[in-house]
Each structure stands twice: as structure tokens, then as C-alpha cells.
């Protein structure tokens, strides 16, 4: 199903009321000078249309950070049903839509997760177009335009929004106000096409992703991993902000009287020291280098499992949030491909007397390698 429509921007408040008729609306809201977060809103004036990436991706609505799975008491063990509500998540960009598509594959695969599925089925996803900044590389991952996993998608075409309709829920919503929406005119179709052509040319961070899994295999023992991993703080910042990191831990929380309690699912991170620790005090990934390689492999190569797909969507959150500067995925990939690149670890190598980049003959004209000819 794929149909299109348009509506005027100055009538957005009416469109917002239409969304509210489906359920509670969440959208990007400015929470600091540079940060945005998906929050419940009551008015279009609260929406930060300029938001490029939120602190946490929309996975938080379906795969919750902390939720009870079961409870127990003297009468036995009881399943905890997921709390759900009809909701609309507005302003989801293409990379985050792709991330939810990957999460859907993981959590609907056998055995399916009832908590995740219940929340997804109660949700309408309304995407919104955006322009990339220096951290965006969704074009490299093939997630730079909406292809699926949404109900409606809005593209800014000047004084109107161009609406793509991709689900029965989306179509029903549009058809509930037939006089509000218009069929796109020929010029509006062309403006829509021009926007995506312009956007495609706006990416400044890019790499060719062809045969990337093979390159990851070939470079498994590259010095890059040691250089970067030895800077890793094992803080785990990269995993909660990632749209597709889905690891969790199970924790039993007993009451003070020990006659009742809960089993709780909580977000976990493969970058934590104890993540791969098992009985016998054995740790399959004891050092930060091992853990960093594991994370990069999952993002860019994929596991040899039923899914077997790369899970990076190029949103740039990990690059922006890493305090050690080691999650510069674009330059890491370029380095592995043997192409010109600059990594945070090059500064140390330059001070030791070498360029530290893969640009060939060293033509650096600064002491710290920040500029390359």
C-alpha cells in the first residue's frame, strides 16, 4: 500500500488534532540547548521540528529501559502483563524508522516478545523529513529514506507537507478527514522529488558499504581495534543511544520481607565488563578491545544467527555521545577499507613521529594531524 496526499503547513494544528484522535502523541521536544527527547505533548507548539536526533531513539517506547516481567509471592508466580496505550510517535526520521524495523525482526522472531509486540500494535508511527549534519551517515547504510515500518511520512515541500501513506491505520486516518487533504499536483510531486535529490547530496559523512561484512572479517586483527579499544572507558554510552541495541539483563528484586518480589528486565550493554562473564569466573570478552570489536561487528557485519544483518542505521548518536571519540564509525570503516581517514588515535601517533592515517605519504601541515592535504 502506498498512497500520497498533501496538506498546508498552516493547518498543522488540525492535523495534530487528527493524530490525537488516535492516541497520546509523543514528539521531539527540546530539553537543553543542544538536546532533544521524545516526550508527550499536548500542543504543536511543543514540537521541536528542528530536532535531528533525540537523546534516546524511539525504541524506548517498545523495549523499555526497566519493566517487570513476572512477580512472585507465597501464592506462586504471576505473569505481569505489559502496560499499553494507543499512542502516536511523531517526527521519526528515516534512520530511526529503519532501526525500529530491525527491532521488529528481533522481537517478533520466535519466540516473540509479547511486551514489545503489544506496544507496537498500539502505536502509529509518523515520520518526518530531515537534512543531515556532519554525524549522519544513514546514506551509507541504505537507511536514508523511508521504505517501510511507518504509517505516515511527512516531507517538507515548502508551504505544504507531502504525505506518504504506508499502512491501513495511516489510510484510515487520512480518509477520516477527506476534505482536509489534497491529491498532490504535478509541481508538488516534482518538489518532493527535488527535496530528496537535494538531501542526497547534502551528506558530508559517507563510505561505500558494499562487501562490508567481508572487510570486517579480513580486518578482524587490525591494529585499529587495539588503538581504539585501549581508549574505551567501558561506559556503555553507545548502546542505550543506539536504535538497534537490544541486549537486556534479568534481575530478581525481592521485597524487604522476602515473601514477594519481581523479575525485572533492564537494558544492558555489551560494553560493560561483566556482560560476557559466566560461571567459573570466565569472561569471553574480558578487555575493552574485545568488547569494542564485538560491538562494531554487530553493527556493521551482523551475527551468524537467524537475522544475520548489520544493525547500524547511520544515525550518528554513538559518534556524538562517545566521550572517548572511538565511535567515529565512518572513519573507522574508511580506515579498514584502506581509504583516507582521520581517527582520534592518530594524534598520539603523529606526536610519536608518524601520520597515523591511511592517506599514503604523510603531508600533514599541523603538529596534531587535524589537517591533511
Do 134 and 283 reside in the same domain of the chain? no
Residue 280 lies in a domain: yes
Cβ atoms < 10 Å from Cβ of 50:
10
Say if 31 falls within a structural domain: yes
Q: What does the pLDDT read at residue 306?
A: 67
Residues 57 and 191 in one domain: yes
pTM value is: 0.90
SS3 content of the chain, % helix, strand, coil (to 5): 30, 20, 50
| Alpha-carbon span 65 to 296, nearest angstrom | 22
Q: How far apart are CA 228 and CA 230, in angstroms?
A: 5
Query: pLDDT grade, residue 341 (50/70/90)?
Result: very high
pLDDT at residue 360, rounded to an integer: 38
285/330 same-domain check: yes
Name the average pLDDT for the chain.
91
Higher pLDDT, 344 or 358: 344
Per-position b or e across 130-151, b if 16+ CB within 10 A of its CB:
bebeebbbbbbbebbbbeebbb
The radius of gyration computed from the CA coordinates of the chain, to the nearest angstrom, equals 23
Mean pLDDT of 60-70: 96
The Cα 269–Cα 115 span in angstroms is 20
Handedness of CA 319, 323, 326, 331 (dihedral sign): positive
pLDDT band per the 50, 70, 90 thresholds, residue 347: confident
Average pLDDT value for residue range 191-216 = 95
Distance (Å, whole) CA 264 – CA 72: 12
Q: Whats the size of the chain, residue-wise? A: 373
In a domain, 238, yes or no: yes
- Whether residue 175 is found in the same domain as residue 316: no
What gap in Å lies between CA 337 and CA 306, rounded to an integer? 27
Q: Is the pLDDT of residue 349 over 90?
A: no
How many domains does the chain divide into?
Answer: 2
Task: List the domain range (segments joined by +) for residue 110.
Answer: 3-201
196 and 309 together in one domain: no
- Please check whether residues 110 and 196 belong to one and the same domain: yes
> What average pLDDT score do residues 268-292 get?
94
Residues 326, 313: Cα–Cα separation, whole Å? 18
Is 253 domain-assigned? Answer: no
Instruction: Work out the pLDDT band at 258, boundaries 50, 70, 90.
Output: confident
Q: Are residues 190 and 233 in the same domain?
A: no
Q: 81-119, pLDDT tens digit by residue?
A: 998 999 999 999 999 999 999 999 999 999 999 999 999
Query: Looking at the structure, do residues 77 and 180 belong to the same domain, yes or no?
Result: yes
Amino acid at each position: 500500500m502506498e498512497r500520497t496526499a498533501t496538506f498546508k503547513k498552516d493547518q498543522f494544528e488540525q492535523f495534530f488534532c487528527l493524530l490525537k484522535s488516535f492516541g497520546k502523541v509523543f514528539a521531539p521536544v527540546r530539553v537543553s540547548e543542544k538536546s532533544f527527547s521524545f516526550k508527550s505533548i499536548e500542543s504543536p507548539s511543543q514540537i521541536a521540528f528542528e530536532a535531528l536526533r533525540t537523546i534516546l531513539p524511539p525504541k524506548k517506547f517498545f523495549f523499555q529501559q526497566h519493566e517487570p516481567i513476572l512477580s512472585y509471592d507465597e501464592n506462586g508466580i504471576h505473569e505481569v502483563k505489559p502496560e499499553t496505550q494507543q499512542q502516536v510517535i511523531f517526527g521519526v526520521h528515516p534512520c530511526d524508522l529503519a532501526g525500529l524495523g530491525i527491532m521488529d525482526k528481533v522481537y517478533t522472531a520466535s519466540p516473540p516478545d509479547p511486551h514489545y509486540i503489544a506496544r507496537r500494535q498500539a502505536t502509529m508511527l509518523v515520520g518526518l523529513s530531515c537534512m543531515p549534519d556532519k554525524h549522519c551517515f544513514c546514506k551509507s547504510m541504505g537507511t536514508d529514506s523511508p521504505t517501510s515500518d511507518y504509517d505516515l511520512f511527512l516531507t517538507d515541500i515548502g508551504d505544504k507537507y507531502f504525505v506518504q501513506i504506508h499502512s491501513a491505520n495511516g489510510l484510515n486516518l487520512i480518509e477520516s478527514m477527506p476534505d482536509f487533504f489534497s491529491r498532490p499536483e504535478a509541481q508538488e510531486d516534482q518538489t518532493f522529488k527535488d527535496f530528496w535529490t537535494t538531501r542526497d547530496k547534502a551528506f558530508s559523512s559517507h563510505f561505500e558499504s558494499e562487501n562490508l561484512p567481508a572487510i570486517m572479517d579480513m580486518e578482524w586483527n587490525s591494529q585499529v581495534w587495539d588503538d581504539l579499544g585501549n581508549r574505551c572507558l567501558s561506559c556503555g554510552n553507545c548502546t542505550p543511544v543506539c536504535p538497534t541495541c537490544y541486549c537486556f539483563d534479568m534481575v530478581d528484586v525481592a521485597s524487604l520481607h522476602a515473601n514477594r518480589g519481581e523479575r525485572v528486565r533492564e537494558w544492558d550493554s555489551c560494553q560493560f565488563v561483566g556482560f560476557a562473564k559466566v560461571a567459573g569466573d570466565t569472561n569471553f570478552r574480558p578487555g575493552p578491545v574485545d568488547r569494542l570489536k564485538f560491538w562494531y561487528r554487530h553493527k556493521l557485519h551482523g551475527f551468524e544467527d537467524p537475522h544475520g544483518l548489520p544493525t547500524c542505521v547511520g544515525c550518528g548518536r554513538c559518534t556524538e555521545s562517545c566521550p572517548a571519540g572511538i565511535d567515529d564509525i565512518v572513519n573507522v570503516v574508511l580506515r579498514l577499507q584502506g581509504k583516507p581517514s582521520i581517527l582520534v588515535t592518530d594524534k598520539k601517533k603523529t606526536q610519536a613521529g608518524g601520520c597515523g592515517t591511511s592517506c599514503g605519504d604523510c603531508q600533514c601541515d599541523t603538529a596534531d594531524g587535524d589537517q591533511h592535504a
